[in-house]
Chains A and B, each alone.
Chain A
Amino acid sequence: MKLYCLSGHPTLPCNVLKFKSTTIMLDCGLDTTSVLNFLPLPLVHSPRLSKLPGWVSKDGTVNLEKELKECAGRVFVDSQPEFCLPERELLDLSTIDVILISNYHCMMALPYITEHTGFTGTVYATEPTLQIGRLLMEELVNFMERVPKAQSATCWKNKEIQRMLPGPLKDAVDVWTWKRCYSMQEVNSALSKVQLVGYSQKVELFGAVQISPLSSGYSLGSSNWIIQSHHEKVSYVSGSSLLTTHPQPMDQSSLKNSDVLILTGLTQMPTANPDGMLGEFCSNLAMTIRAGGNVLVPCYSSGVIYDLLECLYQFIESASLGTTPFYFISPVANSSLEFSQIFAEWLCHNKQTKVYLPEPPFPHAELIQTNKLKHYPSIHGDFSSEFRQPCVVFTGHPSLRFGDVVHFMELWGKSSLNTIIFTEPDFSYLDALAPYQPLAMKCVYCPIDTRLNFHQVSKLLKEVQPVHVVCPEQYTQPPLTQSHRSDLMLELQPPPMPYRRCSVLNLPFRRRYERVYILPELANSLVPSEIKPGISVATVSAVLHSKDNKHTLQSVPKPPPAPPTKKRKRVMEEPPVVLAPKPLLSGAVPLEAFLATLQKHGITEVKVEETADGHILHLQAEDTLIQLEEDGTHIVCDNNEPLRTTLRDLVLRFLQKL
Chain B
Amino acid sequence: MQHKIQSLTQDSNHTSPSRAERFHPKLLTLQAHANQPRSVEGAGQDVGRSCILVSIGGKNIMLDCGMHMGYNDDRRFPDFSYITQNGRLTDFLDCVIISHFHLDHCGALPYMSEMVGYDGPIYMTHPTKAICPILLEDFRKITVDKKGETNFFTSQMIKDCMKKVIPLNLHQTVQVDDELEIKAYYAGHVLGAAMVHIKVGSESVVYTGDYNMTPDRHLGAAWIDKCRPDILISESTYATTIRDSKRCRERDFLKKVHETIERGGKVLIPVFALGRAQELCILLETFWERMNLKAPIYFSTGLTEKANHYYKLFITWTNQKIRKTFVQRNMFEFKHIKAFDRSYADNPGPMVVFATPGMLHAGQSLQIFKKWAGNEKNMVIMPGYCVQGTIGHKILNGQRKLEMEGRATLDVKLQVEYMSFSAHADAKGIMQLIRMAEPRNMVLVHGEAVKMEFLKGKIEQEFSIDCYMPANGETITVTTNPSVPVDISLNLLKREMALGGPLPDPKKPRTMHGTLIMKENSLKLVSSEQALKELGLNEHQLRFTCRVQLQDPHSDPDTLHRIYTHLKSVLKGYTIQHLPDGTVMVESIVIKVSSSAEDTNTKVLLLSWSYQDEDLGSFLSTLLKKGLPSGLC
CA distance A305 to B231 in the complex (A): 48
Q: Is B547 an interface residue (CB 8 A)?
A: yes
Q: Is B143 an interface residue (CB 8 A)?
A: no
* Cross-interface CB contact of A556 among B509, B532, B621, cutoff 8 Å: B509
Q: Is A334 an interface residue (CB 8 A)?
A: yes
CA distance A513 to B622 in the complex (A): 43
Chain B 457-497 per-residue mask, 1 if CB under 8 angstroms from chain A, else 0? 00000000000000000000000011111111110010011
Q: Is A564 an interface residue (CB 8 A)?
A: no
Chain B 300-317 per-residue mask, 1 if CB under 8 angstroms from chain A, else 0? 000000100110111110
CA distance A524 to B519 in the complex (A): 18
Known: A344-B126, A355-B126. A513 touches B487 (CB 8 A): yes
Chain A 124-140 per-residue mask, 1 if CB under 8 angstroms from chain B, else 0? 00010000000000000
Q: Is B611 an interface residue (CB 8 A)?
A: yes
Identify the interface centre among A201, A230, A658: most chain B CB within 10 Å of its CB.
Answer: A658
A199 touching B169 by the CB < 8 A rule?
yes
Q: Is B541 an interface residue (CB 8 A)?
A: yes
Q: Is A430 an interface residue (CB 8 A)?
A: no
* Cross-interface CB contact of B482 among A334, A512, A520, cutoff 8 Å: A520
Q: Is A482 an interface residue (CB 8 A)?
A: no
Q: Is A338 an interface residue (CB 8 A)?
A: yes
Distance in angstroms from A333 CB to nearest chain B CB is: 11
Q: Is A492 an interface residue (CB 8 A)?
A: no
Q: Is B515 an interface residue (CB 8 A)?
A: yes
A358 touching B313 by the CB < 8 A rule?
yes
B528 touching A583 by the CB < 8 A rule?
yes
B532 touching A658 by the CB < 8 A rule?
yes
> Across the two chains, which residue of chain B brings its CB closest to A635?
B544
B513 touching A518 by the CB < 8 A rule?
no
B contact residues around A360 at 8 Å (CB) = 313
B contact residues around A588 at 8 Å (CB) = 540
Distance in angstroms from A221 CB to nearest chain B CB is: 11
* Cross-interface CB contact of B545 among A545, A573, A636, cutoff 8 Å: A636
Q: Is A563 an interface residue (CB 8 A)?
A: no
> Across the two chains, which residue of chain B brings its CB closest to A654?
B540
Q: Is A544 an interface residue (CB 8 A)?
A: yes
A512 touching B513 by the CB < 8 A rule?
no
B518 touching A544 by the CB < 8 A rule?
no
B546 touching A584 by the CB < 8 A rule?
no
Known: A342-B326, A580-B513. A535 touches B493 (CB 8 A): no
> Across the two chains, which residue of chain B brings its CB closest to A201?
B171
CA distance A516 to B525 in the complex (A): 9
A575 touching B619 by the CB < 8 A rule?
yes
Q: Is B370 an interface residue (CB 8 A)?
A: no
Q: Which residues between 200 and 239 of chain A lie within 8 Å of chain B, taking CB atoms?
A: 200-202, 212, 230-231
A198 touching B169 by the CB < 8 A rule?
yes
Chain A 324-342 per-residue mask, 1 if CB under 8 angstroms from chain B, else 0? 0000000000110011011
CA distance A638 to B511 in the complex (A): 33
Q: How many residues on chain B are close to A (CB under 8 Å)? A: 89
Chain A 554-566 per-residue mask, 1 if CB under 8 angstroms from chain B, else 0? 0011000000000
A520 touching B509 by the CB < 8 A rule?
no
Distance in angstroms from A37 CB to nearest chain B CB is: 35
Q: Is A526 an interface residue (CB 8 A)?
A: yes
Distance in angstroms from B13 CB to nearest chain A CB is: 16
Q: Is A273 an interface residue (CB 8 A)?
A: no
B contact residues around A553 at 8 Å (CB) = 486, 512, 525
Q: Is B543 an interface residue (CB 8 A)?
A: yes
B contact residues around A359 at 8 Å (CB) = 309
Q: Which one, B263-271, B566-574, B589-597, is touching chain A?
A: B566-574
CA distance A421 to B616 in the complex (A): 87
Q: Is A637 an interface residue (CB 8 A)?
A: yes
A355 touching B515 by the CB < 8 A rule?
no
Known: A539-B515, A584-B528. A639 touches B541 (CB 8 A): no
Known: A358-B310, A537-B515, A580-B511. A511 touches B538 (CB 8 A): no
A contact residues around B537 at 8 Å (CB) = 531, 586-587, 656, 658
B contact residues around A61 at 8 Å (CB) = none
> Across the two chains, which residue of chain B brings its CB closest to A530?
B518
* Cross-interface CB contact of A631 among B509, B540, B545, B571, cutoff 8 Å: B540
Q: Which residues between 506 and 539 of chain B lie within 8 Å of chain A, taking CB atoms?
A: 509-520, 524-525, 528-529, 531-532, 535, 537-539
Between-chain CB contacts (< 8 Å), 24 pairs: A231-B487, A342-B316, A345-B167, A352-B126, A356-B129, A360-B313, A513-B524, A516-B487, A516-B493, A518-B483, A519-B483, A520-B25, A532-B535, A537-B515, A539-B515, A545-B504, A546-B500, A576-B619, A578-B574, A632-B543, A634-B545, A638-B546, A648-B544, A652-B542
Binding site for A on B (CB under 8 A): 22-25, 126, 129-130, 167, 169-174, 183, 306, 309-310, 312-316, 326-327, 481-490, 493, 496-497, 500, 504, 509-520, 524-525, 528-529, 531-532, 535, 537-549, 570-574, 611-616, 618-619, 621-623, 625
Q: Which 4 A-B residue pairs are closest in the complex by CB-CB distance? A: A632-B541, A517-B483, A584-B528, A513-B487
